């Protein structure tokens, strides 16, 4: 009994010594600082370093024509809903306007070379030939669809200065390549 | 039988707890880590010496805002006078550790210079002379962050530099060379000189204050104005200083051991960038801990403390 008590006492003493030393160490020791973690701010990087602005569709032509009937003040396009709760409203949709015409420019810039492509386009026209009625009663109607009138003018210029955005650029913005490298000085 | 066994185990545990590396021990002594340090107290008791051509405009203002004493001269004599003046004027924050951010001239002498122009202001000092001159001022640790710094400890040039060493980097000493006196005995010096364990070309990165968080910028502004100096806009920080500040486990110091071999090794750029990001994060954390939960610190010109009286000394 006595030996067991002594053993327990020695065990407790050893543990007390260990934890005491460890506690002293933790109070006097220094905390380490995280290394290698990313900074709070994130900067986008471009791996190629090339500014690519291909696909700037700068449409300058005005859409002409249009067969849609404008809504009038005294004739709303949406009809009254039925008296039933949750009932759907009957909507009278306007006729779609599929015609188009105008000119557009496409600016492609890569490594100081700027290529501008001007395109003029219009709605394909449908030409209906007059029915040929010779001496028979049979009526033949031929419908011919002409290809759209597209005229392309390609201008390629080479610039040594960094890319300058076209005046017509309104929809696409270019993010320049940004690197986070700092100036380094060698202590030789 | 059990009791001795348990005691042995207890001692093993205790020994493991205290098993710290010499570098950790040196850092703990030279630059005690203050877990709750304020931005203006990070560098308390630590002085930094910059060679002007390894610095950026207003660099010292950044370090002064962090609590360091900073010296940036091309004349070692002015630097040593500045250290003495600082420790006399501010005994409560006297310099105990000096970090040397200068050229090592391929291990042929500590060099500070304005530029590589042969006619530019330039001076050299031997490690022994540095120990001799600053020991009386109370400095106890010198950490040399220079190129091939362990070569500076070679016995042949420890006290007296050799101006005819044939190294093309050893440009004309337009402002002189400081050597130790004849009767100075390095064995009696109490100053510990530490250098990186691996000899290589040290690098310094230049950053801007804009890279720090708004809270940190405001904290730096408050600290700078309390010292009567303009808030810094940019700073230069060496990889070794960042490692010291961050307690980087890969940092390894050697004390009093010289080598002869000249090294051309350079650390990869990615390592410096990684350290820089950690440094920025560390400073941001400190400022957030100090100011983040409070209202943003006022940037009004604070009342001048006694430290502001010698702003010119701590340029």
- Rounded to the nearest 10 degrees, the angle between the axes of helix B2-17 and helix A2-28 is 0
List of chain A residues whose C-beta atoms are within 8 Å of the C-beta of residue B204: 184-187
Write down the mean pLDDT value for chain A. Answer: 54
Q: Cβ contact (<8 Å) for A185 and B105?
A: no
Residue B17 lies in a domain: no
What are the C-alpha distances in Å from B197 to residues A180, B189, B252, B253, B261?
A: 29, 21, 5, 5, 13
Q: Cβ contact (<8 Å) for B272 and A182?
A: yes
Query: pLDDT, tens digit, for every residue of B117-135?
Result: 999 999 999 999 999 999 9
ipTM of the complex, rounded to two decimals: 0.80
Separation of alpha carbons B109 and B163, rounded Å: 9
Q: pTM score, two decimals?
A: 0.61
**Confidence bin at A91 (pLDDT 50/70/90):** low
Residue of A31, A183, A186 with shortest CB distance to B206: A183
Greatest mean pLDDT among A10-14, A166-170, B311-315 lies in A10-14
Query: Residues in chain A whose beta carbon is closer than 8 A to a beta carbon of chain B?
Result: 6-7, 10-11, 14-15, 17-18, 21-22, 25, 30-41, 180-188
Domain ranges of chain A: 51-58+99-130+143-161
Dig out the tokens for A33 from the structure: 């600082």
- Give the total number of structural domains in chain B: 1
- Disruptive mutation site among B1, B6, B243 for chain A (greatest number of A CBs within 10 Å): B6
Separation of alpha carbons B45 and B296, rounded Å: 27
Averaged over A133-155, what is the pLDDT?
A: 49
The yes-or-no verdict on residue A82 having pLDDT over 50 is no
pLDDT value of residue A104: 64
Strand B122-125 with B177-178, pairing: parallel
Domain that holds residue B77: 22-310
Residue B14 lies in a domain: no
Separation of alpha carbons A169 and A153, rounded Å: 18
Give the nearest chain B residue to A23 (CA atoms): B17
List of chain A residues whose C-beta atoms are within 8 Å of the C-beta of residue B9: 14
List of chain B residues whose C-beta atoms are within 8 Å of the C-beta of residue A15: 10
pLDDT value of residue A127: 58
List of chain A residues whose C-beta atoms are within 8 Å of the C-beta of residue B247: 30, 32-33
Q: Cβ contact (<8 Å) for B278 and A34?
A: yes
Averages of pLDDT over runs of 10 residues in chain B (315 residues) are 72 61 89 86 96 96 97 97 97 96 95 96 97 96 94 96 95 97 93 91 93 96 96 96 94 91 88 95 93 60 42 39
Query: pLDDT, tens digit, for every residue of B52-110?
Result: 999 999 999 999 999 999 999 999 999 999 999 999 999 999 999 999 999 999 999 99
- Rounded to the nearest 10 degrees, the angle between the axes of helix B269-287 and helix B239-246 is 50
Residue B181 lies in a domain: yes
Residue B53 lies in a domain: yes
């Amino acid at each position: 009994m006595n030996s067991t008590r002594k053993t327990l006492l020695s065990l407790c003493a050893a543990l007390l010594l260990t934890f005491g030393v460890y506690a002293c160490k933790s109070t006097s020791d220094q905390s380490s600082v995280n290394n290698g973690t990313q900074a709070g701010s994130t900067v986008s990087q471009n791996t190629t370093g090339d500014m690519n602005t291909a696909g700037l569709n700068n449409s300058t032509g005005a859409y002409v024509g249009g067969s849609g009937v404008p809504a009038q003040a005294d004739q709303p396009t949406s009809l009254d809903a039925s008296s039933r709760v949750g009932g759907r409203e009957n909507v009278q949709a306007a006729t779609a306007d599929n015609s188009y015409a105008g000119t557009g420019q496409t600016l492609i810039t890569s490594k100081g070379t700027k290529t501008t492509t001007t395109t003029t386009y219009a709605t394909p026209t449908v030409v209906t030939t007059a029915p040929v009625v010779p001496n028979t009663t049979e009526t033949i109607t031929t419908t011919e669809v002409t290809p759209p009138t597209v005229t392309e003018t390609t201008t390629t210029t080479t610039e040594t200065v960094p890319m300058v955005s076209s005046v017509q650029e309104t929809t696409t913005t270019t993010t320049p390549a940004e690197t986070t490298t700092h100036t380094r000085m060698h202590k030789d | 039988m059990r009791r001795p066994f348990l005691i042995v185990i207890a001692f093993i545990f205790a020994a493991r707890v205290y098993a710290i590396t010499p570098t950790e021990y040196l850092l703990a002594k030279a630059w005690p880590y203050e877990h709750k340090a304020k931005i203006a107290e990070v560098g308390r008791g630590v002085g930094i010496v910059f060679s002007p051509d390894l610095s950026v405009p207003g660099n010292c203002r950044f370090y002064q805002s962090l609590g360091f004493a900073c010296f940036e001269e091309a004349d070692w004599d002015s630097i040593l006078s500045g250290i003495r003046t600082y420790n006399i004027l501010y005994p409560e924050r006297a310099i105990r550790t000096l970090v040397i951010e200068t050229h090592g001239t391929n291990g042929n002498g500590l060099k500070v210079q304005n530029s590589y122009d042969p006619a530019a202001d330039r001076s050299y000092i031997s490690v022994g002379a540095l120990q001799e001159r600053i020991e009386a001022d109370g400095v106890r640790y010198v950490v040399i962050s220079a190129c091939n710094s362990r070569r500076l400890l070679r016995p042949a040039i420890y006290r007296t530099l050799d101006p005819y060493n044939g190294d093309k980097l050893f440009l004309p000493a337009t402002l002189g060379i400081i050597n130790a006196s004849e009767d100075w005995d390095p064995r009696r010096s109490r100053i510990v000189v530490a250098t990186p364990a691996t000899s290589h070309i040290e690098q310094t990165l230049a950053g801007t204050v804009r890279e720090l968080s708004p809270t940190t910028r405001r904290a730096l502004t408050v600290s700078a104005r309390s010292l009567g100096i303009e808030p810094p806009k940019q700073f230069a920080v060496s990889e070794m200083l960042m490692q010291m500040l961050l307690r980087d486990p890969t940092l390894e110091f050697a004390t009093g051991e010289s080598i002869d071999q000249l090294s051309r090794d350079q650390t990869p750029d990615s390592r410096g960038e990684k350290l820089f990001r950690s440094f920025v994060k560390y400073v941001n954390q400190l400022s957030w801990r100090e100011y983040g939960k409070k209202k943003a610190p006022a940037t009004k010109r604070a009342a001048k403390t006694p430290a502001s009286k010698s702003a010119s000394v701590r340029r």
